[in-house]
Structure 1
Amino acid sequence: MIALRRFLRTPEAVAGALILAALLAMALSAPWFFPRDPQSIAGPALLRPFQDWTLPLGTDRLGRDVMAGLFHGARASLAVGLAAAAGAILIGAVVGTLAGFAGGLLDEILMRITDAFQTVPGFLLALAFVSVAGPSLATVIVAITLGAWTGPARIARAEVLSIRERDYVAGARVIGMHPLEIAFREILPNALPPVLALSSVIVAAAILTEAALSFLGLGDPNRVTWGGMIAEGRAVLRSAPYLSIIPGVALVLTVLGVYLAGEGLVETSATRRMNA
């Protein structure tokens, strides 16, 4: 409760939480408000916003409902962002814990692998992977995860190196606990908070990467995405700029909300540690 009160006292955290709550509400309510296929024709082509209240945000070149696409696109963005962040943190935490706790040759091998992935820009790695494996939502999530796990791995390793010599770890060794049990049961939970602080950055980057891939035509062709909507509106940017502006604004607000909420969580955590 105290942590929640501190979070609510941070204006940027509250703003970010409200934006994310709106995104979550859009994603969860999409099947109820727009039960039809969002890629089906709903009205006349290029209907401008607010001309027909049954289609409040208008239609695209094929007559598809822009608002339906916006709501269903929120589902894709949320799924990619959360799944990629969870995968990156899981892989990074495991690799970092093994490298930091074992040390020696295993540490050297794992860190060189991390360096190899880190030398390739995450977007280029995702672009190459999706181009080879084929566009689908699962492929996009795996591609983004492959480029995002190195940061959590390095932070986890640094935390484990500072924790592994503490008294309670030595006590676990004395009573005969298995090294892997010590690493993942005793050390990892204490090393995890700084790693989790990266989650907001990874989620925001994943949403942007998915939008960029969809914009380039490498997103899931069976799903409506904000990047795909922006790309669709590019052909009629002069005559119907709203087709790109509306999903573009949604994308900007979502990334901003993730960053603000993440900053609020970090600030709340830092304040709690100082008071402790």
Structure 2
Amino acid sequence: MSAPARILLSGEGRAGFVLLLLFALLALTAPLVFPGDPLAITAPPLLTPFTDGAHPLGADRLGRDIAAELAWGARTTLLVALASALASLVLGTVIGTLAGFLGGWVDDVLMRISDAFQTVPAFLLAMALISITGPSLPAIVLAIAAGAWPQPARIARAEIRSLRERDFVAAARVAGMHPLAIAFREILPNALTPVISLAAIIAAAAVLIEAALSFLGFGDPNRPSWGSMVAEGRAMLRSAPSLSLIPGLALVLIVLAIHLLGRGYAKALRVREPVA
């Protein structure tokens, strides 16, 4: 049985998969269910949830449809989570592979760079980079990835160092393969499993960092974001608590879903095929 299939064997894996699937469906169907500009004013201001079939979750103080913002915000959240995790894993894996395989001064330089990035909290680093580049979705993804790559880099380095003296590596050297080809084609595929296991942690952190950036006004102003929705409703927590509670609950659920799926993946790695 493949690892993705074994994830569903655990209760955590199934729960996380179902929750993430629901959020993915919400994001994918947003243009069909809520066509047009999700930030357009389409309803009376502060419309109470479940009182109008056309706007089931009500409207904010400007008259924007909460349901439309929530659905389109799911696209932003999932895109940032997936892109940030992918970018940080790719960057960290490449740097960790080079450091672990080449060793020497290359290892020292790359690990000192990693140490420099790790001394700055990921959120503060992201906020500083966004302040320089300006708020946009690609800038947010790169800013989050810049703070997340050192961890996969260190794990990849440790795995590569433990594998580089194996017999299959020596055989590849004898066969005349280029050192980089040996590192990335022969060793790296055997070292990817623990690196990939970090994807859930990085994606969950990316969701929270993007929401925090949007909450503070550093998000992309042209895209709906759950963080900006929470910020919009904070001034009306007493009179209209749903403005912040609905997107806040969505953030809790998607982080929980990623965490559960990550636990399911960790359990799947410990499952061994039965011996025939």
Whether the TM-score (by the shorter chain) exceeds 0.5 is: yes
When structure 1 is superposed on structure 2, of 248-257 and 265-274 the one drifting more is 265-274
Residue by residue over 1:147-170, the C-alpha shift from the partner in whole angstroms, topping out at 9 and shown as x without a partner, is 000000000000000000000000
The alpha carbon displacement at 1:275 in A equals 7.2
Distance (whole Å) between structure 2 residues aligned to residue 191 and residue 203 of structure 1:
20
Residue by residue over 1:102-136, the C-alpha shift from the partner in whole angstroms, topping out at 9 and shown as x without a partner, is 01110000000000001110000001000111101
Question: Mapping of 1:95-106 within 5 angstroms?
Answer: 95-106=95-106
What letter matches 2:179 in structure 1? P
Distance (whole Å) between structure 2 residues aligned to residue 246 and residue 68 of structure 1:
12
Distance (whole Å) between structure 1 residues aligned to residue 160 and residue 169 of structure 2:
11
Normalized against structure 2, the TM-score is what? 0.97
Which residue in 1 is equivalent to 2:131?
A: 131
- C-alpha spacing 1:275/1:158, structure 2 compared with 1 (3 Å): farther
Instruction: Tell whether 2:197 aligns with 1:200.
Output: no
Stretches of structure 2 that go unaligned for 5 or more consecutive residues are: none
Which residue in 2 is equivalent to 1:190?
A: 190
What letter matches 1:155 in structure 2? I
Matched residue SS, 1:262: helix
Maintained 8 Å contact 1:38/1:69: yes
Maintained 8 Å contact 1:41/1:65: yes
Instruction: Tell whether 2:147 aligns with 1:147.
Output: yes
The alpha carbon displacement at 1:236 in A equals 1.1
Percent of aligned pairs with the same amino acid: 59
The alpha carbon displacement at 1:274 in A equals 9.3
Maintained 8 Å contact 1:16/1:261: yes
Matched residue SS, 2:271: helix
Which residue in 2 is equivalent to 1:216?
A: 216
The alpha carbon displacement at 1:190 in A equals 0.7
Distance (whole Å) between structure 1 residues aligned to residue 106 and residue 133 of structure 2:
30
- C-alpha spacing 1:204/1:274, structure 2 compared with 1 (3 Å): farther
Stretches of structure 1 that go unaligned for 5 or more consecutive residues are: none
Distance (whole Å) between structure 2 residues aligned to residue 106 and residue 149 of structure 1:
17
Which residue in 2 is equivalent to 1:175?
A: 175
The alpha carbon displacement at 1:237 in A equals 1.3
What letter matches 1:55 in structure 2? H
The alpha carbon displacement at 1:272 in A equals 2.8
Which residue in 2 is equivalent to 1:60?
A: 60
The alpha carbon displacement at 1:9 in A equals 2.5
When structure 1 is superposed on structure 2, of 5-14 and 132-141 the one drifting more is 5-14
Distance (whole Å) between structure 1 residues aligned to residue 63 and residue 237 of structure 2:
16
What letter matches 2:101 in structure 1? F
Distance (whole Å) between structure 2 residues aligned to residue 167 and residue 274 of structure 1:
27
Which residue in 2 is equivalent to 1:83?
A: 83
Maintained 8 Å contact 1:49/1:55: yes
Distance (whole Å) between structure 2 residues aligned to residue 45 and residue 236 of structure 1:
12
Instruction: Tell whether 2:239 aligns with 1:232.
Output: no
Which residue in 2 is equivalent to 1:110?
A: 110
Residue by residue over 1:243-276, the C-alpha shift from the partner in whole angstroms, topping out at 9 and shown as x without a partner, is 0000000000000000100110111111138979
Matched residue SS, 2:146: helix
Maintained 8 Å contact 2:3/2:265: no
- C-alpha spacing 1:214/1:5, structure 2 compared with 1 (3 Å): closer
What letter matches 1:203 in structure 2? A
Distance (whole Å) between structure 1 residues aligned to residue 273 and residue 121 of structure 2:
34
Structure 1 vs Structure 2 CA RMSD: 1.4
Matched residue SS, 1:235: helix
Matched residue SS, 1:261: helix
Which residue in 2 is equivalent to 1:121?
A: 121
Matched residue SS, 2:42: coil
